[in-house]
Chains A and B, each alone.
Chain A
Amino acid sequence: MKKILFYIALLFVVVGCEKNSYVAKFDKLPQERAAEQISLVSTTLTAAPNGWIATLPTQAGGGYAFYMAFDNEQGVTMYGDMNATSSGTSAKSYYRVKQDMGTELVFDTYNYISLLNDPNGTMGGANKIGYSSDVEFTYDKIAGDTIIFIGKKYRQPFKLFKATAAQQTSYLSGNLKTNIEKLTAFFAANKNSYIEITPGVKTGVTPDFSNTLANGKRLELTTVNPDNSVSSGKAKIANTIDEVAILNGGLVYQGIVFVKIAWKSATVLAMYDRTGKEYIINNNPVPLLDFKNAFKFNGAYNGIMISGRNLPAGITSGWNNLWAQQIASYDLNNATMESMQFRLMNANTAKLEVWFVIGGSRYLADASYTYVINDDVITLSNYLPSVSNTNWNNGWVVTNVKNYFINASFRMSWVTSTDPSVSNIGGLYKIGDLTNFYYGRAIKN
């Protein structure tokens, strides 16, 4: 015990000694330097006359962009690109800048940025976690008109760029919402968008503006190589008032760093790389990936489905006549067609599944086949009717439809429609009669 007391006493002596020999490395005390940085960050944020445009990738989900205006009373007003409300209506909350592990900006009451951090998942994200995003950001640096923070827990870069007066006006007019709607409409109408990095080679451009955790707020570029393999690249994106910003330094694809998608003119959309080079976005009439490469039991699509009583519009095929017979048969028997699907169940079994409704109850009629694929030709054999129940054999599928698939061979290909709103239609063309093909929307079960 005495020994311990001695050491304790000694410790104080040592501490005392150190005090006398302390030489400050900086000319100011730590708290003074911290105060200066707090002041710098506060002043910078509040001094931007037109507010800030901010981007923030989330760790688990996609990327997001905000407009933020900070006032001198710890108030912040923001817009965000996550939904119609956040992009069209400003919301006020509070922030503070404080000393923490460095200087920290905290959005300390709820606002659009909190939607990403909210574990209750009101907008989406992982249940009880959210998008793995922060409301506390540690100051990193100021570079020109940019101030950069790092998320405290999830370490994502939170970058704020000074907005111009025109940009501010545009945000305040609710233009972010209309801009996002215009972009969404463009890609809805141009489902097979592509750019040409090498002339003649089409690279698919697929942005996802939804908030789903796995794929939302991301951009994917896809190219089918000459050997039919597919190469792709993916990055997080965010909608600012002027562009679709590609976050985390851009999307590096085929040696090019793509940084944004923006309107070249009122109706022409283009991608831009870091050097400012422009890549016009065009639309292919059919998906870029050949149907034979996309349609596999474990591929991008594994089913060809007709939903309801009407075939996809604008397509002429011998199948149309068979379909009319099937619908007529249902009409006679007070049944309603729900869907018909040709589906690849596994590596060698395919099924034709017909769902129909009588008196509010759903029924299934199905048959199975063994299939073999050789390049773009699929051949069916081992026809097995009434797999799940007896409905197939009991006349709920008309004979001509049954016969259509028995021991048949088809060429697999995309189908084009005269109706531009109809896309992603997969077809099974009868070998020897290319005017006769089963077709429907390509789906992934």
Chain B
Amino acid sequence: MVVALACRKVEKLNVDYSGFNPDNPTTNTPLDQWLTNNFLNPYNIEVVYRYNRYYHGNTANVAPNKYDNIQPTMQIVLDGFITPYLKVAGETFTKKYMPKEWVLFGSYSYNNTADPGVAGTAAAGRRITLYGVNEYSPLPGGQFYAWDRQRIMHHEQAHILNQIIPIPPEFETISRGSYKQPYTETPTDTARKYGFVTSYASGVHTEDYAETIGWLLINGQVWYDDWANGASALGKSRLIQKQNNVVNYYTNLGINFKGLQKEVQLYMKSINRNEQKFAYWLNKRRFPASTTNFIPTFANITVNTGSDTYIKYGGSAVFAPIYTSVKNAIAAQGYNLNFLRFNYTSPTTMYVEANFTAGTTTYQSFYAFNTAVNVATGDVTFTTGTAGGTTAPWVGNAAFTKPSVQPFLDYLLNNTFVADWLPVNASVEDYMKIGGFTVKGASTNYFYGTLAY
């Protein structure tokens, strides 16, 4: 080889490429200028939107882009994908690791009539190809499109990162033995039981990694936790391990994964996705298809104005006296109020638990409520429900503390509330872990509590 190279050195390679005919479509339309200003100049990202067969492979059937869909699609890329990374991972990371070439195609890519169609690909750690741009429509009709683009991009970006920094080897061991191709033969329910976020994830660990990252980001923590809680014990344990692995991977890259997740979720809120709404989860059954199983998403919400959470974030000056009056009245009865808790028995029924102590003995009083949730507006109302039993907490204890708790019970019965993730200044770590209710039309009158599944 040395000999050969030495020989070659003598020859002067004198090729002038300027005379060749590059395939470099150049227009300078407002779209081109917008792409230059928003992608090329700040991030050195080239957006290839003019049809080029060599980007999708010769055998596939793919249609070109509708011109008018390019800018809104790339705006979706900016808002839900690049901006979150920019905010959380910083400028240097974003400029370095964002794929440098974005290729857009109008249709999905099909190889034949049986092919389900390719929605996106990642290549060489540098290129993301997004298909299906012709399906864009403006909000609110285009909500799914925007969500689905984020799904594809965050999935593909995970591959891009994996192509630069490999997947930690221990990830593959979490579900070792459960991967099976073709993934299409694994129904979603089965995939869930075995600890996968989708059927697609159950095919091979590399896709599992990208899917875990993608779904954690696009549908958020409550969705992920609810998914895990609806899996088998094995599946749940695996999903938790996978999440920890992913969070750790990002930490090693210098990225706060929870922060990134919150930023993506705020984008999802801006396009009005249900998974981002507290009211949606309050209203949702874990197994919507079941006619007998009414398990709600959250098992309970614990309210305690003296808790660390309230100390950290503060609370409503209107609500504080109500809670304090309950606490003082119970103290006057000789007991210490530990907390008030909403125990959900279904998405439409719950009971308020007053939890109080004397000496080392803890007591409970239960007060039943029915609740109605409007997911679109977030409105929540409470009405008196039917007692769930004849034990002491339902009868004797309840009667004993009722006069003391009454101000809080009246507060629930006499107001319409709006459910949301509260407090608004919750840290990234607490985001979607605390939920609360604001009296409709009175933004300073609210209470919140920590959520448990």
Chain A residues with CB under 8 Å of chain B are 5, 8-9, 11-13, 16, 29, 31-32, 34-35, 38, 73-75, 92-94, 96, 98-100, 106-110, 114, 117-120, 126-130, 135-136, 152-153
Judged by a CB distance under 8 angstroms, whether B50 is at the interface is yes
Name 8 extra pairs, CB < 8 A, besides A12-B7, A73-B27: A96-B23, A107-B64, A109-B67, A118-B107, A120-B108, A129-B110, A130-B61, A136-B53
- Report whether A119 and B51 are in contact in the complex, using a CB–CB cutoff of 8 Å: no
Which residues from chain A contact B23 at a C-beta distance below 8 Å?
96, 98-100
Cβ-closest chain B residue relative to A35: B21
User: In the complex, are the beta carbons of B25 and A119 less than 8 A apart?
Assistant: no
Hey, which chain B residues are within 8 Å of A109, CB to CB? 49-51, 64-67
CA of A74 to CA of B8 in the docked complex: distance in angstroms? 43
Do the beta carbons of B134 and A120 come within 8 Å of each other?
A: yes
Known: A107-B64, A110-B64, A119-B108. A94 touches B8 (CB 8 A): no
With both beta carbons as reference points, the residue of chain B lying nearest to A134 in the complex is identified as B53
Q: Which residues of A contact B112 (CB under 8 A)?
A: 128-129
**Interface of B (DSSP majority class):** loop
Identify which of A98, A99, A119 gathers the most chain B CB atoms within 10 Å of its CB.
A119
Task: Tell whether, in the assembled complex, residue B3 and residue A9 are in contact, meaning their CB atoms are under 8 Å apart.
Answer: yes
Distance to closest chain A CB from B198 (angstroms): 22
CB within 8 Å of A: which of B104-136? 106-108, 110, 112-113, 115, 117, 134
Among A12, A35, A114, contact of B8 (Cβ-Cβ < 8 Å): A12
Which interface residue of B21, B52, B53 has the most chain A CB atoms within 10 A?
B21
A residues in contact with B50, CB < 8 Å: 94, 96, 106, 108-109
Is B170 interfacial (CB-CB < 8 Å)? no
A56 vs chain B, min Cβ distance (A): 16
* B289, CB-defined interface residue at 8 Å: no
> What is the minimal beta-carbon distance from A80 to any residue of chain B, in angstroms?
15
Q: How many whole Å from B135's CB to the nearest CB in chain A? A: 8
The count of residues in chain B whose C-beta lies closer than 8 Å to any C-beta of chain A is 35
Q: Output the nearest chain B residue to A126 by Cβ-Cβ distance.
A: B113
B67 touches A94 (CB 8 A): yes
Q: Does A94 contact B27, Cβ atoms closer than 8 Å?
A: yes
| A5, A93, A120, A129 pick with most chain B CB within 10 angstroms | A120
Q: How many Å lie between the Cα of A29 and that of B49 in the bound state?
A: 31
B1 CB-CB contact with A under 8 Å: yes
Residue of A nearest to B69 (CB): A110
CB-CB nearest in chain B for A10: B4
Q: How far, in angstroms, from A437 to B3 measured CA to CA in the complex? A: 99
In the complex, the answer to whether A117 meets B66 with C-beta atoms within 8 Å is no
Pair A129/B113 contact, Cβ less than 8 Å? yes
The answer on a CB contact under 8 Å between A128 and B7 is no
Say whether, besides A5-B1, A9-B4, A94 and B25 are in contact (CB < 8 Å). yes
| CA of A93 to CA of B29, assembled, Å | 12
Q: List 28 A-B contacts (CB under 8 A).
A: A8-B4, A11-B4, A12-B4, A12-B8, A13-B7, A38-B21, A74-B25, A74-B27, A75-B27, A93-B64, A94-B27, A96-B25, A98-B25, A99-B21, A106-B52, A108-B50, A108-B51, A109-B49, A109-B64, A109-B66, A109-B67, A114-B63, A117-B61, A119-B63, A119-B107, A128-B61, A130-B61, A135-B63
- Cβ of B30 within 8 Å of any chain A Cβ, yes or no, is no
